[in-house]
Amino acid sequence: MADMTHDPTADGLDLIKAALGPKGILAGEAAAPLLREWRGRWTGRPCLIAAPATTAEVARIVSIAADHGLAITPQGGNTGLVGGQMAMNGEVLLTLRRLNRVRKVSPLDNSLIVEAGVTLAEAQAAAAGVDRLFPLSIGSEGSCQIGGVISTNAGGVNVLRYGNMRDLVLGVEAVLPSGEIWNGLKRLRKDNTGYDLKQLFIGGEGTLGVVTAAALKLFPRPREKSTVFVALKSPDAALKLLSRAQDASGGGVTSFELMSRAILALVFKNIPDTRDPIAGEHPWYALIEFSAGREARLSALVETLLEDALRADEIADAAVAANEKQAADFWRLRHSMAAAMVPEGGQAKYDVSVPVASVPDFLGAADAAVLKIAPKARIIAFGHMGDGNIHYDILQPVGIAREEFAQAAAAIEVAVYDAIDRFEGSISAEHGVGVARREDIARRKQRAEMEMMRAVKNALDPKGVMNPGKML
Amino acid sequence: MADMTHDPTADGLDLIKAALGPKGILAGEAAAPLLREWRGRWTGRPCLIAAPATTAEVARIVSIAADHGLAITPQGGNTGLVGGQMAMNGEVLLTLRRLNRVRKVSPLDNSLIVEAGVTLAEAQAAAAGVDRLFPLSIGSEGSCQIGGVISTNAGGVNVLRYGNMRDLVLGVEAVLPSGEIWNGLKRLRKDNTGYDLKQLFIGGEGTLGVVTAAALKLFPRPREKSTVFVALKSPDAALKLLSRAQDASGGGVTSFELMSRAILALVFKNIPDTRDPIAGEHPWYALIEFSAGREARLSALVETLLEDALRADEIADAAVAANEKQAADFWRLRHSMAAAMVPEGGQAKYDVSVPVASVPDFLGAADAAVLKIAPKARIIAFGHMGDGNIHYDILQPVGIAREEFAQAAAAIEVAVYDAIDRFEGSISAEHGVGVARREDIARRKQRAEMEMMRAVKNALDPKGVMNPGKML
């Protein structure tokens, strides 16, 4: 009795299991956290969960997948916000967690080679261990992994000074959709010998291959820091202050985070042990961090700067952190903002960027458009003003049912997107596309750009092995 | 009597001429400088020289070319070093010189939008006009054009602090091989909505489209500067000093240029009105520039740094520029180095990069290999030590005929390339591929990487319209 229906994918799965052995396949309890998006928004349904331990094993898995009609979804720390890391349609979920070696630390090169499964915090620690700085810093740094940080081109609070992840990658090692290993792990500051292919993998959301290791840029550790919390009348005043601070410090502003009173009030309400650094209530605030080398006299610089800004009516009040504890308290306010919104009901959240100077006008236009649709909506705006990147969130009005608010969500989205377009902005500044924004970019990007993206995808992954249904 | 042979390219040329009018077609005297590579190494033989004045005209030309079997070679300031800008095989030579408008200067955004034909010096001036810095600086800045600077991902003397051109581009507008205009001119610091396609045009050497305009990053202008000339025992001492200077200044080292006594001696010999800033003869020197914001006390920092370096035996002597004139004199030595070699006969020149910490070992290995082949060769090494980028040039030995030296050149090239490979370096750090290094990269790059490059080229330019025979 011959089995006449033959499924090549079943053979592929058997081959992958055989190649990895029992330690390389996850199931049951161990697998559960990999199948659940952390906010519960998406659920993974992979056909297999593979946990390779080496680049060669990753290559073997991808090669088998390519030959047997299987698809692959790579996953890092599973902290992504747009669902790019979820295997939702029977893909092989490939977790990089066992590729967790620090391969090389070179302080004289200011470089670091780590594997994809090393967490961001571990990479920061490896740099600190040789008295260097790896500057990228985001809320999830304890669990997000370098492979994911690269594949989503993560941003965070130090972009103003050091750039996004894209700016911090010297080279990548990746397994291509064919299963071949590309050794692009160069530690060079300059290399003009053809297209800079690593750029396609950075922010590529796993659609062109699996990043297995990377060479990262390190920096001198700042020897002086100054952290300031200021009260402001308006985003426009914040813009002027940013420009003044950048000029005075010669580009020494590491972070410039804007926040409205509305979000700060929610922090004080919902997060224990937080308190206002500045007396009274002000409509806007900014958290600013300066850093410098030795003998920089940052305190004198900051003092003069704040005096000048007060005199120019750019700030209403200011608190300079007297020590590291106080600086950490300031930062805790900023880092608590996402959590402070959770108890407040339904939320429509947007990760907007516009040209830096357009932030005030964008906020004015978006607020007006949203309030026209939902006059009682609570608008929360905060984020990386220095990069033109605002987390623009609309909270369910008090006393209105979650369902009622949800009905206005589609109209609110159109209003916010239209305001973004008007200021030539981005509908996803740092979170990426994944499944969450996939239809939006297809609808809103120039057709020629979408065609180029699809042409690149088809050229490098003609069989559609890598993370289907994401981004494109 | 019907003409049975019909050449569609002739129709295409007629259409281009009609589209541009007489002002848009160059010939005779006006055309001559565009046909000659500035060192006389390559000669252009285009079928037509088109000088469009707008992006729409560029699009029209490319569209006609795509429809009529013509190829296009874009040309900027014709200062390239690898022949990428030469139309050597009957292409339409497309000069961008008439696209020379500064479209938008936004000091509060720290951004600048310029067309491709604006010179680098004009872009720098537009930034300075609003009290900002556009930091890229190269020898040819008076004549090279932004489109070319982007297409070759130029480097220069400020890369250590500000990055290569790739790091300074926020967005590009380009005409695609189909003739469509891609409006990628965003002025955003963060945008994660798909593959970062502009990266393919940066350093793409005109093989994927014509860059017609770009949005560039501006920076605060440094308020303090310090320029130092130091004498050193060895490249290894330079490496230690670089690390010390970076640490002390918190990344405030703008330039760190290494140079051997051999090249400095040629400057004193062949360039009028130059003199040694430091008494005695030392095997190596470095020119270092620091910059900072206000109240930075750079002079105190530099003084302490040099004292510490002297005590640690990292430097033998130092001269700190007392004023701008003296700083300019120091820089003139550095900028005269290429010219100082010209009267010295045959030269084999390499634009090498290796990981920064490998510069000393690379120099040792390369010198040994070259001297084995040509024991009397004069080896000249200088360049951007801070980026691991060394201009490594071998001069004809004194008293040996140019022809005899040329015979050794092939063996020398293999020796230099092998040393580069050994230290995981690049055979073209900042000059690019063009025609000069095309066969070299095909031979030396990983096969998978060459295949990805060809796949991208074929996907985005299936008809082969753009700059055929260059890079790939």
In chain B, residues with a C-beta closer than 8 Å to the C-beta of A187 are: 355, 424
Q: Which of B109, B430, B437 sits opposite A356 (nearest CB)?
A: B109
Q: Is B127 on the interface with A (CB under 8 A)?
A: no
Does ipTM exceed 0.85? yes
Question: How far apart (Å, rounded) are the C-alpha atoms in residues A285 and A230?
Answer: 6
In chain A, residues with a C-beta closer than 8 Å to the C-beta of B428 are: 191-193
Q: Is A407 on the interface with B (CB under 8 A)?
A: no
Selection from A221, A191, A425, A322 nearest residue B426 by Cα: A191
Structure tokens at A312: 């120019």
* pLDDT higher at B404 or A437: A437
CA distances from B227 to A40, A99, A175, A230, B209 (A): 57, 45, 46, 36, 40
Name B406's Cβ contacts closer than 8 Å, sequence gap at least 6: B346
Could you say which DSSP state residue A283 is in? S
**Which pLDDT belongs to residue A1?**
46
pLDDT, one tens digit per residue, over B94-116 is 999 999 999 999 999 999 999 99
**Which pLDDT belongs to residue A4?**
57
Partner-chain contact A388 B188, CB within 8 Å: yes
Q: Is A443 on the interface with B (CB under 8 A)?
A: no
Sign of dihedral through CA atoms B136, B141, B147, B150?
negative
User: Does the pLDDT value for residue B3 go beyond 80?
Assistant: no
**DSSP-derived secondary structure for B99-119:** ---EEEEETTTTEEEEETTSB
Selection from B353, B359, B258, B387 nearest residue B315 by Cα: B258
Closest Cα in chain A, distance from residue B1 (Å): 44
CA distances from B298 to B138, B160, B223, B240, B252 (A): 25, 18, 10, 20, 10
Inter-residue contact A189 to B388 (CB < 8 Å): yes
Selection from A134, A125, A78, A98 nearest residue A212 by Cα: A98
Structure tokens at B106: 């936004």
User: Does the pLDDT value for residue B1 go beyond 80?
Assistant: no
User: Does the pLDDT value for residue B4 go beyond 70?
Assistant: no
Partner-chain contact A203 B195, CB within 8 Å: yes
In chain A, residues with a C-beta closer than 8 Å to the C-beta of B247 are: 131, 220-221, 223, 293-294
CA distances from B291 to A61, A192, A252, B385, B402 (A): 50, 27, 11, 18, 44
Question: How far apart (Å, rounded) are the C-alpha atoms in residues A432 and A359?
Answer: 20
Partner-chain contact B191 A429, CB within 8 Å: yes
Structure tokens at A2: 């011959």
**Which pLDDT belongs to residue B406?**
83
Find the closest chain B residue to A185 by CA distance: B424
Partner-chain contact B190 A111, CB within 8 Å: no
Partner-chain contact B460 A460, CB within 8 Å: no
How would residue B403 be classed by pLDDT, with cut points 50, 70 and 90? confident
Partner-chain contact B182 A449, CB within 8 Å: yes
User: Does the pLDDT value for residue B2 go beyond 70?
Assistant: no
Partner-chain contact A194 B441, CB within 8 Å: yes
Find the closest chain B residue to A159 by CA distance: B189
The b/e string for A420-453 (b: 16+ C-beta within 10 A; e otherwise) is beebbbbbbbbbbbbbbbbeebbeebeebbbbbb
Chain A 298-327, CB below 8 Å of chain B: which residues? 300-301, 304
Partner-chain contact B429 A191, CB within 8 Å: yes
Rg of chain A, C-alpha, whole Å: 24
In chain A, residues with a C-beta closer than 8 Å to the C-beta of B160 are: 189
Selection from B293, B224, B247 nearest residue A300 by Cα: B293
Question: What pTM was computed for the model?
Answer: 0.97
Three-state secondary structure call for residue A339: helix
In chain B, residues with a C-beta closer than 8 Å to the C-beta of A431 are: 192
Chain A 48-67, CB below 8 Å of chain B: which residues? none
Question: How far apart (Å, rounded) are the C-alpha atoms in residues B319 and B340?
Answer: 23
pLDDT, one tens digit per residue, over B323-382 is 999 999 999 999 999 999 999 988 899 999 999 999 999 999 999 999 999 999 999 999
Interface size, chain A vs chain B, as Cβ–Cβ contacts under 8 Å: 310
Q: Is A294 on the interface with B (CB under 8 A)?
A: yes
Interface with A, mutate which of B167, B172, B192 (most A CBs under 10 A): B192
- Tokens 């928004």 label which residue? A41
Closest Cα in chain A, distance from residue B27 (Å): 32
Burial class (CB in 10 A: 0-12, 13-18, 19+), A245: buried
Average pLDDT, chain B: 95
Selection from A14, A80, A96 nearest residue A47 by Cα: A14
Which segments in chain A show pLDDT lower than 70?
Answer: 1-5
Partner-chain contact B357 A460, CB within 8 Å: no
